[in-house]
Amino acid sequence: MCVRAVMCVLWAACVCQADPNIIIMLMDDMGWGDLGVFGEPSKETPNLDLMAAQGMLFPNFYTANPLCSPSRAALLTGRLPVRNGFYTTNAHARNAYTPQEIVGGISQDEILLPELLKKKDYISKIVGKWHLGHRTQYLPLKHGFDEWFGAPNCHFGPYNDSSRPNIPVYNNSEMKGRYYEDFEINVKTGESNLTQIYLEEGLKFISQQATAQQPFFLYWAPDATHAPVYASKHFLGKSQRGRYGDAVMELDYSVGQILAQLVSLGIHNNTLVFFTSDNGAAVMSGPHQSGSNGPFLCGKETTFEGGMREPAIAWWPGRIPAGTVSHQLGSVMDLFSTSLSVAGVLPPDDRVIDGLDLSPALFNSSLQDRPIFYYRGNQMMAVRIGQYKAHYWTWSNSWEEFNMGINFCPGQEVPGVTTHTQEEHALLPLIFHLGRDPGEKYPISVQSKEYMDVLRQVTAVVHQHQGALIPGAPQLNMCDLAVMNWSPAGCERLGKCLKGPESKPWKCDWPH
Amino acid sequence: MCVRAVMCVLWAACVCQADPNIIIMLMDDMGWGDLGVFGEPSKETPNLDLMAAQGMLFPNFYTANPLCSPSRAALLTGRLPVRNGFYTTNAHARNAYTPQEIVGGISQDEILLPELLKKKDYISKIVGKWHLGHRTQYLPLKHGFDEWFGAPNCHFGPYNDSSRPNIPVYNNSEMKGRYYEDFEINVKTGESNLTQIYLEEGLKFISQQATAQQPFFLYWAPDATHAPVYASKHFLGKSQRGRYGDAVMELDYSVGQILAQLVSLGIHNNTLVFFTSDNGAAVMSGPHQSGSNGPFLCGKETTFEGGMREPAIAWWPGRIPAGTVSHQLGSVMDLFSTSLSVAGVLPPDDRVIDGLDLSPALFNSSLQDRPIFYYRGNQMMAVRIGQYKAHYWTWSNSWEEFNMGINFCPGQEVPGVTTHTQEEHALLPLIFHLGRDPGEKYPISVQSKEYMDVLRQVTAVVHQHQGALIPGAPQLNMCDLAVMNWSPAGCERLGKCLKGPESKPWKCDWPH
Ligand SMILES: [Ca+2]
Ligand SMILES: [Ca+2]
């Protein structure tokens, strides 16, 4: 350990020889437009706005899929869900995830960021939502994390135990209780202490590693802004936006606490912190349970900008220039590659890595050309190169759902774009200039020179991508009530083991 | 003059006994969402973002009408257009303005801000667009301004001289040339030096007054973001948004130049600067010719938030706390009252003033309850109290226009809200909570307690407002080709006098 010891002298700047710590703060369903610095009118995120003022803002940062599980799998593997298997082939262009009845999870063949960081003896902890599979073999400690405090699935519920168990909360490899039972979320009032618990878990871990002069990776993934949204008593009623804004304010407060702790421990100059979200705001959930995608079209579940563009801030005092904006096109998968890069670990060379090392943007303010692919399931729906985005397939959701009142684009309607049938545009993709038209309202005329020039460039990129693409085995096809969280490890000690039904697998139904 | 001399000592803070200078920077059709600090994804306004970081941001700031002329008349008189006469009675709920054929203009009975500032011997200059009437009796030097460089109308054109003269550019009370002739705007390339000229005019004026230790009022009103948008050569192609963004960047640069000059002249601690816009982004003009209203509904011409909520920043180093956000509901009319307050001039007591003195917000971070009224012509369409907005009338534009392709809400459609017929909701207004629903997408259920509580409050406010309202005589009813800018003062010297037709007045047609 001593080679990593931080050498400091009182009268000079701290020269940190240690491998840098890495903190990824991943929000759940928080939209691009939810931060003050990204234009939320109530300006309720002073800590995040300050983080941006002290760091680098990425207004062009994307998830790899507009839904939790595949987004998180992509972040931790540096690979598109179509490669790491976090998709379904049960139906065309459907987002799949890991509800309790899912049989699959993250493949043993995938290599996750914390596994690679072990090469440099990092200690890794995940706090909060995992969502890469809840069966024993899929849990975080089987995939490189040393510690975990959180839950494998969404905090949906409360459920009736006899037909559906409440989601367990784990401390490392054993459950500590269940949501709604031992870890309360009052669905009526929206009160829950979970964000405070997740904050404390994060702070404690940071403090322990700093004391031990131990380089660490903290994957801080609270889920307070995922419906049903919650906040602790102190924050309820504090925002101008109702319960959703209250949750944002508590998360913002927590971010401030974590950054302040880094400073007070003196490790801020040796810690890369990256803040982002897993998918766009779930605008279909209405104004009480979802956030804002700012000027962008639609939200979660869709491959419009509202579904996939994410708030993103990088912070590393002394290394990342303060108060800067990078127009680098970025992706959650880049956090895999960038983390490896700053830790000095080479990425795997036996597989395609989609992540880009953002070091040039972070440390030299330089930009790299790269495409952004927008997938829904295993279907590439759209691609962005530079300021241009080409849609090869469009749909928001089905007429059946829409007519039932489920609207993925409330208040928005762009004829021919926000379609309710799956529309293929392979021959003449719908092309938008996201600089002058961030809302994807004005397809560029197919008769223009601009269109033809962009089409030529984008076609080459798409051909190259699709020609070389070997999809991973799909992990999200099968469901079975028997696999639900009936008896997670540690349930015996708590008297929380439940008996599930016989195994009766079926092909999962993914409507979106 | 010597009583106003600024007393400074090198070893202490500058104690400014002089009456503070006032600069109002009014943009044209710039939207709330066009500033980086309000979430424009291309983050192209570093100077305005810095101005906000050094000053106070107002995310809840409004115009008094979603169109140029009545907005500007309201700003300079502190009174709603329905009081100061800047409206029409030719049709119901129509926005009227001052095109060349307008017969009327600002009434001699109105008292404008620069007239009042004369009581404290301020020197006042307007740079840029006037738009309160172009006939001799309506021009700025007849209404309190000491100097003017700019134009009386919009920079529409170029026109065929025989049927419609190009708009004159005045220097004080005489024309210096015409748009498209002596003051070029290349409609094809978008190149024009006008913003640079307006910047120079502003800087020169500031410098002269500072040298003379003369308190001044500068009303800086460039119009580069009004269609046809323009920028100078250096800025063309610089933004990620095309020509509109280029114009924004040049205006942002100019704001930075003006603030820097205040600092370099040492008068920044004695100057209140307020930046805002006259109405929402003209989204009906499409992505090449208009900006962004961020998360808000629709744009210019409408009484939805996109039409009336404006970007707003106050700056006064040493007086206004840096990096603050005020949630005070504000209005362009408040600039009248606030300017008088900081200059120590009492407002007129013989008439209703709608403006609010924002001093408590600016200097004590305290909030004042006040309603915001949303007018279209002489029709009160909506009212905001606190976070709630109640629509008494809705319409975007007519079916006839809409079917011709003119869309005031492109890509947006909220059933029952963005109506194409004028819909009255007097008995049960549509009520929105703008905190959790800034996009006006989710009317609050009329059956809820929340609705009934708000209705009671808002009804009282509306009754009080309408019961006491005495409309001014409408100034924008009559048109006549004979009154156009055929022979403005000074045209003889330039050989620019044109001969107009005989007078044939008609009732103007206001379609919106
Ligand atoms: Ca999510
Ligand atoms: Ca205007």
C-alpha of residue B82 to centroid of ligand 2, in Å: 18
Q: Cis link prior to B215 (omega < 30° from 0)? A: no
Look at residue B49 and tell me whether its pLDDT is greater than 80.
yes
- Strand, coil or helix: A385: strand
Ligand index nearest the alpha carbon of residue B224: 2
Least confident of A141-150, B157-166, B308-317: B157-166
Distance CA B187, CA B196 (A): 17
Beta-ladder partners of A374: A382
Does A386 contact B at CB distance below 8 Å? no
Q: Do A414 and B414 make contact, defined as CB atoms within 8 angstroms?
A: no
C-alpha of residue B399 to centroid of ligand 2, in Å: 24
- Asked if residue A262 lies in contact with residue A277, where contact means CB atoms within 8 angstroms, the answer is no
Residue B487 CB-density burial (10 A; 0-12 exposed, 13-18 middle, 19+ buried):
middle
The pLDDT of residue B61 = 98
* Chain B residues 236-265 with CB within 8 Å of chain A: 239-242, 244-245
pLDDT of A303-326, one tens digit each? 999 999 999 999 999 999 999 999
Does A285 contact B at CB distance below 8 Å? no
> Using a CB-CB distance cutoff of 8 angstroms, which residues of chain B are in contact with residue A402?
none
Distance CA A191, CA A184 (A): 8
Residue A501 CB-density burial (10 A; 0-12 exposed, 13-18 middle, 19+ buried):
exposed
Q: Residue range B42-66: average pLDDT?
A: 98
Distance CA A470, CA B465 (A): 68
Which chain A residue has its CA at the smallest distance from B38's CA? A39
At B488, the amino acid letter reads P
Q: DSSP string spanning A327-395?
A: ---EEHHHHHHHHHHHHT-PPPSSS-------HHHHHH-------EEEEETTEEEEEEETTEEEESEE-
C-alpha of residue B68 to centroid of ligand 2, in Å: 4
Distance CA B270, CA B21 (A): 6
The pLDDT of residue A17 = 53
Q: Residue range A338-356: average pLDDT?
A: 98
Question: What band does A7 get if pLDDT is binned at 50, 70 and 90?
Answer: very low
Q: Do A411 and B38 make contact, defined as CB atoms within 8 angstroms?
A: no
> Using a CB-CB distance cutoff of 8 angstroms, which residues of chain A are in contact with residue B442?
286-287, 410
pLDDT of A24-33, one tens digit each? 999 999 999 9
Does A34 contact B at CB distance below 8 Å? no
Q: How many CB pairs under 8 A join A and B?
A: 119
Q: Which two tokens stand for residue B511?
A: 């379609």
Q: Do A436 and B241 make contact, defined as CB atoms within 8 angstroms?
A: yes
Question: What band does B368 get if pLDDT is binned at 50, 70 and 90?
Answer: very high
The pLDDT of residue A5 = 39
A433 is catalytic: no
Q: Which residue has tokens 């909060």?
A: A128
End-to-end Cα, chain A, rounded Å: 49
Closest C-alpha among B103, B63, B72 to residue B473? B103
Q: Which residue has tokens 């819909």?
A: B423
Q: Do A441 and B410 make contact, defined as CB atoms within 8 angstroms?
A: yes
Largest CA distance in chain A: 69
Does A411 contact B at CB distance below 8 Å? yes
Q: How far is B508 from chain A (nearest CA, A)?
A: 33
The pLDDT of residue A397 = 96
The answer to the question of whether A298 is labelled as a binding residue is no
pLDDT of B303-336, one tens digit each? 999 999 999 999 999 999 999 999 999 999 999 9
Q: Residue range B8-34: average pLDDT?
A: 76
Strands ordered across the beta sheet of B309-310: B309-310, B61-62, B330-331
Look at residue A47 and tell me whether its pLDDT is greater than 50.
yes
> Using a CB-CB distance cutoff of 8 angstroms, which residues of chain B are in contact with residue A242?
433, 435-436
The answer to the question of whether A161 is labelled as a binding residue is no
Q: Where are the alpha helices (DSSP H) in B88-128?
A: 113-117
The answer to the question of whether A279 is labelled as a binding residue is yes
Q: Do B411 and A40 make contact, defined as CB atoms within 8 angstroms?
A: no
Does A286 contact B at CB distance below 8 Å? yes
Distances (CA, A) of A267 to A115, A255, A467, B8: 23, 16, 45, 44
> Using a CB-CB distance cutoff of 8 angstroms, which residues of chain B are in contact with residue A36?
325
C-alpha of residue B425 to centroid of ligand 2, in Å: 28
B68 is catalytic: yes
Look at residue B14 and tell me whether its pLDDT is greater than 70.
no
Q: Are strands A56-57 and A313-315 parallel, antiparallel or unpaired?
A: antiparallel
Q: Residue range B126-142: average pLDDT?
A: 98
> Using a CB-CB distance cutoff of 8 angstroms, which residues of chain A are in contact with residue B437?
287
Look at residue A505 and tell me whether its pLDDT is greater than 70.
yes
Q: DSSP string spanning A282-334?
A: -GGG-TTT----TTSSS-TTSSSHHHHEE--EEE-TTTSPTTEE----EEHHH
- Asked if residue A204 lies in contact with residue A216, where contact means CB atoms within 8 angstroms, the answer is no
Q: Which two tokens stand for residue A289?
A: 């349970």
- Strand, coil or helix: A74: helix
Does B325 contact A at CB distance below 8 Å? yes
The answer to the question of whether B29 is labelled as a binding residue is yes
Distance CA B19, CA B214 (A): 9
> Using a CB-CB distance cutoff of 8 angstroms, which residues of chain B are in contact with residue A295?
33, 39-41, 292, 294-295
At A288, the amino acid letter reads H
Mean pLDDT of chain B: 96
Q: Which of A411, A437, A440 sits opposite B413 (nearest CB)?
A: A411
C-alpha of residue B278 to centroid of ligand 2, in Å: 5
Look at residue B97 and tell me whether its pLDDT is greater than 90.
yes
- Asked if residue A55 lies in contact with residue A315, where contact means CB atoms within 8 angstroms, the answer is yes
Is the ipTM here above 0.90?
A: yes
Q: Cis link prior to B158 (omega < 30° from 0)? A: yes
Active-site residue among A2, A14, A16, A68? Answer: A68
Q: Residue range B251-279: average pLDDT?
A: 98
> Using a CB-CB distance cutoff of 8 angstroms, which residues of chain A are in contact with residue B239?
435
Q: Which residue has tokens 């869900």?
A: A81
The pLDDT of residue B125 = 99
Q: Which of A295, A387, A434 sits opposite B33 (nearest CB)?
A: A295
Look at residue B24 and tell me whether its pLDDT is greater than 70.
yes
pLDDT of B463-474, one tens digit each? 999 999 999 999
Q: Which two tokens stand for residue A342?
A: 């700053």
Q: Do A327 and B33 make contact, defined as CB atoms within 8 angstroms?
A: no
Look at residue A14 and tell me whether its pLDDT is greater than 80.
no
Q: Which two tokens stand for residue A59?
A: 């207004």
Q: Do B38 and A39 make contact, defined as CB atoms within 8 angstroms?
A: yes
Q: Do A387 and B240 make contact, defined as CB atoms within 8 angstroms?
A: yes
The pLDDT of residue A250 = 98
Does A225 contact B at CB distance below 8 Å? no
Look at residue B76 and tell me whether its pLDDT is greater than 60.
yes
Q: Residue range A437-464: average pLDDT?
A: 98
Q: Are strands A309-310 and A61-62 parallel, antiparallel or unpaired?
A: antiparallel
Distance CA B46, CA B418 (A): 34
Q: How far is A199 from chain B (nearest CA, A)?
A: 25
Question: What band does A160 get if pLDDT is binned at 50, 70 and 90?
Answer: confident
- Asked if residue B348 lies in contact with residue B109, where contact means CB atoms within 8 angstroms, the answer is no
The pLDDT of residue A274 = 99
Q: Do A437 and B53 make contact, defined as CB atoms within 8 angstroms?
A: no
Q: Residue range B27-36: average pLDDT?
A: 98
Q: Where are the alpha helices (DSSP H) in B344-485?
A: 359-364, 399-403, 449-468
Contacts of B9 (CB under 8 A, 6+ apart): none
Active-site residue among A131, A155, A226, A512? Answer: A131
Active-site residue among B2, B8, B14, B68? Answer: B68
Q: Which residue has tokens 């030719």?
A: B90
Does B234 contact A at CB distance below 8 Å? no
> Using a CB-CB distance cutoff of 8 angstroms, which residues of chain B are in contact with residue A57?
43
The pLDDT of residue A29 = 98
> Using a CB-CB distance cutoff of 8 angstroms, which residues of chain A are in contact with residue B433?
242, 287
Question: What band does B18 get if pLDDT is binned at 50, 70 and 90?
Answer: confident
Strands ordered across the beta sheet of A123-129: A174-178, A168-171, A147-151, A123-129, A216-221, A21-27, A271-277, A313-315, A56-57, A324-325
pTM of the model: 0.95
The answer to the question of whether A28 is labelled as a binding residue is yes
Q: Do B39 and A42 make contact, defined as CB atoms within 8 angstroms?
A: no
C-alpha of residue A278 to centroid of ligand 1, in Å: 5
Mean pLDDT of chain A: 96
Q: Do A287 and B441 make contact, defined as CB atoms within 8 angstroms?
A: yes
Neighbours of B452 (CB within 10 A): 12
Look at residue A374 and tell me whether its pLDDT is greater than 80.
yes
pLDDT of B371-411, one tens digit each? 999 999 999 999 999 999 999 999 999 999 999 999 999 99
Q: DSSP string spanning B279-316?
A: S---GGG-TTT----TTSSS-TTSSSHHHHEE--EEE-
- Asked if residue B250 lies in contact with residue B307, where contact means CB atoms within 8 angstroms, the answer is no
Beta-ladder partners of A23: A218, A273
Does B511 contact A at CB distance below 8 Å? no
Neighbours of A169 (CB within 10 A): 22
C-alpha of residue B185 to centroid of ligand 2, in Å: 18
The pLDDT of residue B17 = 53
Percent of chain B with pLDDT over 70: 97
Where in B293-434 does DSSP place strands (E)?
309-310, 313-315, 324-325, 330-331, 372-376, 379-385, 388-391, 393-394, 423-424, 430-433
At B501, the amino acid letter reads P
Least confident of A480-494, B1-15, B188-202, B354-368: B1-15
The pLDDT of residue B370 = 98
Backbone angles phi, psi at A327, to 5 degrees: -90, 15
Q: Which two tokens stand for residue B178?
A: 């015409």
* Chain A residues 294-323 with CB within 8 Å of chain B: 294-295, 297
Backbone angles phi, psi at A209, to 5 degrees: -70, -40
